[in-house]
């Protein structure tokens, strides 16, 4: 069985220095990065990959418990929350059965609390690291984003290796550590097409092609290993989408 469709949802544009997203490249130039998530429509249920950015955080970082991010929000252009965009496609948040999280950075975990009825799939390493990250990473982990995962009202499925969600190979999460220790990507089989939602394995196509991780990556060496894993999939015919490349993401919006 295959998935029917992938709907791209862009929750914001975030303009930042290109060299922050792609190490030592185009220093001082802006990158107007997309902040997407993806809805996979499968005959056996709806799966959301990531949840985008919290607009509440953008409106009031200090009130959100993140005063340290005040200096960054000026570059954020909200585009509609994940819940609003789902409704624009004719779905409600309550219809989403599963949310698979690539990792728990601010631009991926900001809409978790909109899906209390869903089961959340997160790698064990990511759950543990998010609560006590290293100094190069702590800026991007906002406790308010993911604290709901500790609530008994939320169902969380911790995974370690590859995770075949439907058991038929159509939606498979697989480890791609490097950007963070518990980063994972998603392979989706559509009719006649394999799509790799690689999240932050690389920030842009250039970063992937030239094997240049984000400047704040948890592990440069593991990042490159994960990039090579994804590139081999592309060589075998898969269509790879990395999260912050506007050209790649915009081609998937609403599709």
Q: Is the pLDDT of residue 227 over 90?
A: yes
Neighbour order of strands in the sheet with 171-175: 163-164, 171-175, 184-190, 193-199, 239-242
- Asked whether the whole model's pTM tops 0.95, one would answer yes
Query: CATH code for 5-250?
Result: 3.60.15.10
pLDDT band at 255 (very low <50, low <70, confident <90, very high): low
- pLDDT at residue number 162: 98
Computed over every residue of the chain, the mean pLDDT equals 96
Concatenate the DSSP letters of all residues of 194-221 into one string: EEEEEETS-SSHHHHHHT---TT-S-HH
| pLDDT above 70: percentage of residues in the chain | 100
- pLDDT at residue number 126: 98
| pLDDT above 90: percentage of residues in the chain | 97
* pLDDT tens, position by position, 94-150: 999 999 999 999 999 999 999 999 999 999 999 999 999 998 899 999 999 999 999
In the chain, where the domains are located: 5-250
Residues 226-246, mean pLDDT to the nearest whole number: 98
* pLDDT tens, position by position, 163-209: 999 999 999 999 999 999 999 999 999 999 999 999 999 999 999 99
Please state, in angstroms and as integers, the Cα–Cα distance from residue 142 to each residue in 34, 38, 45, 172, following that order: 19, 21, 29, 27
- pLDDT at residue number 254: 75
């Amino acid at each position: 069985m295959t998935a029917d469709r992938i709907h791209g949802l862009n929750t914001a544009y975030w303009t930042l220095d290109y060299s922050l997203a792609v190490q030592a490249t185009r220093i001082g130039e802006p990158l107007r990065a997309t902040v997407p998530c993806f809805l996979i429509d499968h005959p056996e249920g709806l799966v959301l990959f990531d949840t985008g950015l919290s607009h509440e955080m953008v409106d009031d970082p200090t009130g959100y418990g993140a005063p340290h991010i005040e200096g960054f929000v000026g570059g954020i252009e909200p585009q509609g929350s994940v819940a609003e965009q789902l409704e624009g496609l004719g779905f409600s948040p309550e219809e989403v059965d599963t949310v698979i999280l690539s990792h728990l950075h601010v631009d991926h975990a900001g809409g978790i609390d909109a899906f209390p009825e869903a089961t959340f799939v997160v790698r064990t390493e990511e759950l543990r690291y998010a609560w006590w990250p290293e100094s190069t990473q702590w800026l991007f982990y906002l406790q308010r984003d993911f604290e709901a995962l500790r609530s008994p009202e939320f169902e969380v499925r911790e995974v370690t290796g590859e995770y075949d969600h439907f058991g038929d190979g159509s939606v498979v999460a697989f480890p791609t550590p490097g950007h963070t220790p518990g980063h994972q990507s998603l392979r989706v089989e559509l009719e006649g097409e394999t799509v790799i939602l690689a999240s932050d394995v690389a920030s842009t196509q250039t970063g992937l092609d030239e094997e240049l991780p984000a400047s704040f990556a948890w592990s440069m060496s593991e990042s490159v290993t994960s990039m090579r894993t994804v590139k081999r999939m592309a060589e075998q015919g898969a269509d790879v989408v990395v999260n912050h490349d506007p050209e790649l993401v915009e081609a998937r919006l609403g599709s």
